[in-house]
Amino acid sequence: MKNLSLREQLLKAGLTSKSKAHKVNSEQRKQVQYSKKHKTQVLDEAAQLANQAKAEQREKDKLLNAKLSAEAEKKQLIGQINQLINDNKLAKNDDGVGFNFSDNNKIRTIYISSALRQSLVKGTAAIVKFIKTYEVVPAPIAGKIELRDKSRIIYWNDNSTPATDDEYAGFEVPDDLVW
């Protein structure tokens, strides 16, 4: 029984008949000839399921890679913004004039020199959020930060946008008004 094929073993054990074995053998031969003639491969169910599982796994991997690359881009963007702010922040003065601004409906105050305050009023400087503090940066840097993430710009008196029809357009507000 060592060198007997499975078919011969089943025949010897009496689990199948010669006619059934011959029928299965001829079916297999016909499939092989058909696949050679039409150049198609006959795949069994296990191979099809394996291919389907591989395709699903590739799709999962593609989605995971897209998610990871998006997270990496976001981290890189945050790093770029923090680097811009850190390299270009203007010096604050704790003994200077208090400048009030709002962030998330809360009034915040930073102390800056009067020259820096004038720059903020004119729009040549802007207040940006830097990690957990607020920093003052020049307007060109604020423009670069705004391109990357608008939510980091807390206060910028940007004069480049034209004012809409305002009822009080004829009345000027003094620049030295402190609130």
Domain count, the chain: 2
Rounded CA-CA distance 167/51 in Å is 69
pLDDT tens readout for residues 2-56: 687 887 888 888 888 888 888 888 888 888 888 777 765 555 777 888 899 999 9
Shared domain check, 169 and 121? yes
H/E stretch holding 112 reads: strand 106-112
Q: Which domain holds residue 131?
A: 57-179
H/E stretch holding 137 reads: strand 133-138
Shared domain check, 127 and 70? yes
Q: Write the CA distances from 59 to 62, 131, 160, 162, integer angstroms.
A: 5, 36, 46, 48
Helix axes 45-88 and 139-148, enclosed angle (nearest 10): 170
Shared domain check, 115 and 159? yes
**How high does pLDDT run on average in the chain?**
85
pLDDT tens readout for residues 91-103: 888 888 899 999 8
> Is 48 within the bounds of a domain?
no
